[in-house]
Amino acid sequence: MLQKKIFSIAASLLVTINPFLGQAQPAPILRVNVAQPIADIQPTMWGVFFEDINFGADGGIYAEMVKNRSFEFFKPLMGWKVEGSKRTEGDILVQNRQDKQTSNPRYVRITANNASQGGLSLTNEGFRGMGIKSGLRYDFSVLCRVQSGNAKLHVDLLNAKDEVIGSGILTPEQTDKGWHKQQVSFKSTAGEQKGKLRVWFEGTGVVDLDMISLFPEDTWKGRPGGMRADMIQMLADMKPGFVRFPGGCIVEGYDLDQRYQWKKTLGPAEDRQLIINRWNFEFGHRPAPDYFQTFGLGFLEYFQLCEDIGAEPLPILNCGMACQFNTAELVPMDQLDPYVQDAVDLIEFANGDVSTKWGKVRADLGHPKPFNLKFLGVGNENWGPQYIERLAVFQKVIKDKYPAMRLVCSSGTDPNGERFDFLNGKLRDMKADLIDEHYYRRPEWFLQNASRYDSYPRKGSKVFAGEWAAQSDKTVSVDNKNNWQCALSEAAFMTGLERNAAVVNMASYAPLFAHADGWQWTPDLIWVDNLRVYGTPNYYVQKLYSINKGTNVLNLTQENSPLAGQDSLYASAAWDKATNEVILKVANVSNKAQVRIIQLDGVKKLAANGKLTLLKNNVLDAVNSFENATNVSPVEQQIAVDVKKKALSLTLAPRSFSVVRVKVLP
Ligand code: AHR
């Protein structure tokens, strides 16, 4: 009776004009029960998935500008152009000290014989060019060892026409230390999108060079040898609840030799043994023969990144299985121990105090404070009984030692089918903490699955929606676009994730980054070249969810049902106890404007104005680009609240995603 009365008052006072019929129509009501939140939203709800794919790390967030700096690619001089060698002025020869230095055996020996400008030189092409900013300081460094003489290094930045736009001089010192690092810094005089680095030699002498490196001054937090600040800022702006790293299939490796091994990613950069990146050769249609993992960014740096941006670290480790799309190699069960030990040691590395073996390693690397790791993934897209068998060993050992550690477990590659059903059943029987679901599907799938989690059990294992993205064409198609249709379908789907935060504790779009000249997989959340970065419409959807996360789910209904596709509308509501705000998210995937009255039940008083953040575009194919980076991007406006009726009228633009925040007053 009371409900009926509220409805009739609201309907009579908040009548709107139907824009198409031109008549006064009572707009349908969305009721939000503010008084009784139905579930907690975990602080980890919206996060990011990072993998070194599409030049995500090397050539991406790792700000190193020199490709193949240690001459360890299959072809030792790949990325380098040698000029003037084997002439009277001297020679440049690749040396290999495999017996002495297994992690970084190669270097180059320069023999300069009265060399001068225009003679003996090495030029590096960078990662599809080097992005150079005018007036910025660049830090060149090299490991060197003088054999004889006193040849000098001239370090020049070149523009696309090979004109010098910055230079420094370095004279390798003859010391009894042998190999040692030297550096020189200088400023560029002009900007260039496709720059190069040329090192030319002057004078006479024999000098050995390795780890020829160039970093810009403006790295994230100004850390020498650090990350690209513009890319990391995009992540920081999202305020992600977690960062999953280092992948992805890269964790599994093409074969077990090429799996990701975190212990090999610590310490001096020159001791981190490079391996081929599996995305180098994964797709015949997008080959990247110059794609390797230098591990210049290693686990310490990933943990540090998480700390910097206030995200929970979520490392994923190999479970004793190589990628099942590739070799599908298995570690025999009686040889699994080192893999399990890697996981146990990682927890100690992250959390142990400095008196522990691995806690001390962390402290010696400059981070005595523990990282407070709470989540750990075992296996990426692994499946079958072989996975369950191996996972059970990890689970037992880790839980015995660290009962509070929450383990993320794989449900394979797809969100349905035999493989999924088998794993989902087994994992729930095993009381898995979090089940990692992946869905690379068409936009229609995302709309049809907005209620996917409504029927999931509220008790038992939680879901980590660990990798997903709407595919405008199909998975691994080069034609997939980060268009508005895909982003809007994701926004609609995510209302279902939020509504079911009791079940879904973590979610991340994948992949995260792509280099416009070096990608293998599309779509991707953020696109970069060597100087620029832009967020896709999908990025703005993810960001809007993340920065408007709230702390509790509120029940939102239209005619007593969740709004999950009726009239092509999808909605969810959250409460933010930190700010006392109701947060409403509504996706209108139809091509017509629609009006809804939002009735906030159970509140005493509301602020007179709320904030509406609107993401919209009439064109489903609309995309962002370097030239038009904010084509589809959020716009904010004030929205009036009817404080008397504790309601507001929301006009949902065609093909739009709206986020509304309304403050509840005491
Ligand atoms: O995100 C790209 C790839 O998709 C990941 O590496 C893998 O886990 C999935 O198949």
Tell me, what's the pLDDT at 404?
Answer: 98
Q: Please tell me the residue having the least CA distance from ligand 1 atom 5.
A: 248
Expressed as residue numbers, the domain containing 138 is 80-216
Query: What integer is the mean pLDDT of 280-305?
Result: 97
Residue finishing a domain among 183, 216, 249:
216
36, 55, 242, 273 from 73: Cα distances, Å:
59, 15, 33, 11
Helix%, strand%, coil% for the chain, nearest 5: 20, 35, 45
Please work out whether the CB of residue 381 comes within 6 Å of at least one atom of ligand 1.
yes
Distance 24 CA to ligand 1 centre (A): 51
> Is the backbone peptide bond immediately before 248 cis, with ω within 30 degrees of 0?
yes
Q: pLDDT at position 23, please?
A: 55
Residue 249 alpha carbon to ligand 1 centre in Å: 5
Q: Report which ligand 1 atom has the smallest distance to the Cα of 438.
A: 9
- Kindly indicate the confidence band of residue 16, based on its pLDDT and cuts at 50, 70 and 90: very low
Please identify, among 155, 188, 216, the residue that sits at the C-terminal boundary of a domain. 216
**pLDDT exceeds 60 at position 17:** no
Assess whether 149 and 99 both reside in one domain. Answer: yes
Residue 49 has pLDDT above 70, yes or no: yes
Provide the 10 A C-beta neighbour count for residue 132: 28
Q: How many Å separate Cα 291 from the centre of its chain?
A: 18
CA distance 390 to 404: 20
User: Which stretches does DSSP call E strand in 429-560?
Assistant: 434-441, 462-470, 504-507, 513-515, 526-528, 533-535, 552-557
CA distance 283 to 542: 28
Same domain membership, residue 52 and residue 155: no
Query: Is the model's pLDDT at 245 over the cut of 90?
Result: yes
What pLDDT, on the 0 to 100 scale, is given for residue 101?
A: 79
Q: In this structure, are residues 658 and 612 in contact, taking their beta carbons and an 8 Å threshold?
A: yes
| Total domains, the chain | 3
* More confidently predicted of 229 and 25: 229
pLDDT at residue 558 is higher than 70: yes
For residue range 495-512, what is the model confidence (pLDDT) as tens digits?
A: 999 999 999 999 999 999
Q: What is the pLDDT of residue 9?
A: 34
Atom of ligand 1 nearest to the CA of 413: 10
Do 654 and 510 fall into the same domain?
no
> Band of the pLDDT at 575, cuts 50, 70, 90?
very high
Ligand 1 atom closest to the CA of 511, numbered from 1:
1
- Residue 364, domain member (yes or no): yes
| pLDDT tens figures, 599-656 | 999 999 999 999 999 999 999 999 999 999 999 999 999 999 999 999 999 999 999 9
Average pLDDT over residues 101-113: 94
Which residues are CB-contacts of 567 (< 8 A; sequence separation ≥ 6)? Answer: 28, 590, 594
Q: Amino acid letter at 153?
A: L
- The per-residue DSSP string of 571-599 comes to EEEEEETTTTEEEEEEEE-SSS-EEEEEE
Residue 73 lies in a domain: no
CATH of residue 325's domain is 3.20.20.80
pLDDT at residue 294, as a whole number = 98
Residue 248 alpha carbon to ligand 1 centre in Å: 5
φ, ψ for residue 17, nearest 5 deg:
-95, 120
For residue 466 and ligand 1, the question of a CB distance below 6 A is answered with: no
pLDDT at residue 87 is higher than 90: no
Tell me how far apart the alpha carbons of residues 379 and 390 are, in angstroms, rounded to a whole number: 9
Both 517 and 561 in one domain: the answer is no
* 7 pLDDT above the threshold of 80: no
Q: 350-398: per-residue pLDDT in tens?
A: 999 999 999 999 999 999 999 999 999 999 999 999 999 999 999 999 9
Burial class for 150, CB neighbours closer than 10 Å (0-12, 13-18, 19+): middle
Give domain status of residue 104, yes or no.
Answer: yes
- Give residue 86's pLDDT: 77
HSE-CB at 459 with a 13 A cutoff on CA atoms is 1
Regarding whether 247 and 139 lie in a shared domain, the answer is no
How far apart are the CA of 471 and the centre of ligand 1, in A? 13
Length of the chain: 666
Check whether 79 has a pLDDT greater than 90.
Answer: yes
User: Within a domain: residue 2?
Assistant: no
Phi-psi category of 655—alpha, beta or left, where left has phi over 0 and alpha has psi -120 to 50?
left
Strand partners, 577: none
CA distance to 121, 436, 542, 624, per residue, from 538 (Å): 45, 21, 6, 10
Q: For ligand 1, is residue 29 a contact (CB within 6 Å)? A: no
Note the pLDDT tens digit of each residue in 225-240: 999 999 999 999 999 9
Q: How far is the CA of 467 from the centre of ligand 1 (A)?
A: 7
Residue 508: closest CA among 463, 575, 449: 463
- Please state the atom number of ligand 1 nearest to the C-alpha of residue 325: 10
70 part of a folded domain: no
Q: What is the CA radius of gyration of the chain?
A: 28
Our mutation pick for probing the ligand 1 site, out of 467, 482, 525, counting the most ligand atoms within 8 A of Cβ, is: 467
Query: Ligand 1: which residue has its CA nearest to atom 7?
Result: 248
251 within ligand 1 shell (Cβ under 6 A): no
Question: Do 59 and 121 fall within a single domain?
Answer: no
User: Which range, of 1-15, 55-69, 266-280, 508-522, averages the lowest pLDDT?
Assistant: 1-15
Q: Does the beta carbon of 439 lie inside 6 Å of ligand 1? A: no
Using CB atoms within 10 Å of the CB of residue 55, give its burial: 0 to 12 exposed, 13 to 18 middle, 19+ buried: buried
The burial of 460, by beta-carbon neighbours within 10 Å (0-12 exposed, 13-18 middle, 19 or more buried), is given as middle
Q: What is the pLDDT of residues 108-140, one digit of tens each?
A: 999 999 999 999 999 999 999 999 999 999 999
Question: What's the average model confidence in pLDDT over 563-582?
Answer: 98
Q: Which atom of ligand 1 is nearest to the CA of 250?
A: 6
Distance between CA 549 and CA 251 in Å, rounded?
29
Q: Which three-class secondary structure state does DSSP give residue 300?
A: helix
User: Looking at the predicted structure, is the pLDDT value of residue 47 above 90?
Assistant: yes
Pairing relationship of beta strands 656-665 and 581-588 according to DSSP bridges: antiparallel
* Atom 4 (ligand 1) nearest CA: 248
Same-domain pairing of 498 and 559: no
**Final residue before a domain boundary, out of 505, 533, 549:** 549
Span 331-340, pLDDT tens digits: 999 999 999 9
Using the mean position of ligand 1's atoms as its centre, give its distance from the Cα of residue 279 in Å.
Answer: 10
- What does DSSP say about strands 609-616 and 656-665: parallel, antiparallel, or unpaired? antiparallel
| Residue 196, domain member (yes or no) | yes
Ligand 1 atom with the shortest distance to the CA of 510: 1
- pLDDT at position 88: 82
Please give the C-alpha separations between residue 323 and each of 249, 331, 334, 412, in angstroms, as whole numbers: 7, 12, 20, 11
Average pLDDT (22-42) is 90
Q: Is 511 in the pocket of ligand 1 (CB under 6 A)?
A: yes
In this predicted structure, the answer to whether residue 19 has a pLDDT above a threshold of 70 is no
Q: Are 179 and 116 in contact (CB under 8 A)?
A: no
Stated as kind and residue range, the H or E segment containing 355 is none
Residue 5 lies in a domain: no
Asked, for residue 12, whether it belongs to a domain, the answer is: no
pLDDT of residue 89: 85
Answer yes or no: is the C-beta of 521 below 6 A from any ligand 1 atom. Answer: yes
What is the DSSP pairing of strand 462-470 with strand 434-441? parallel
Residue 3, pLDDT > 50, answer no
Instruction: Clarify whether residues 211 and 348 are in a common domain.
Output: no
323 lines ligand 1 (CB under 6 A): no
- Statement: residue 316 has pLDDT above 70: yes
| From 414, 440, 478, mutation site for ligand 1 pocket: most ligand atoms within 8 A of C-beta | 440
> Do 335 and 371 belong to one domain?
yes
Going edge to edge, which strands form the sheet with 375-378?
48-49, 242-245, 312-317, 375-378, 406-410, 434-441, 462-470, 504-507
Co-location of 362 and 441 in the same domain: yes
Top pLDDT among 102 and 251 is at: 251
| For the CA of 51, the nearest atom of ligand 1 | 6
Is residue 595's pLDDT more than 60?
A: yes
CA angle 112, 114, 119 (to 5 degrees): 70
Q: Which residue has the tokens 């690092």?
A: 181
Based on the domain organization, do 491 and 593 belong to the same domain? Answer: no
Q: How many helices (H) and strands (E) does the chain have?
A: 11, 36
Q: How far apart are CA 372 and CA 43, in angstroms?
A: 15
- Mean pLDDT of all residues in the chain? 95
CATH number of the domain enclosing 31: 2.60.40.1180
Statement to judge: residues 510 and 642 lie in one domain? no
pLDDT value for 85: 86
Query: If you average pLDDT over residues 64-84, what whole number do you get?
Result: 97
Residue linked to tokens 């009735």: 599
Active site residues: 381
Q: Does any ligand 1 atom lie closer than 6 A to the CB of residue 247? A: yes
* CB 467 near ligand 1, within 6 Å: yes
* For range 428-445, the mean pLDDT: 98
Cα separation of the two ends of the chain: 27
Note the pLDDT of residue 70. 98
**Atom 3, ligand 1: residue with shortest CA distance:** 248
- Extract the tokens encoding 183: 């550096």
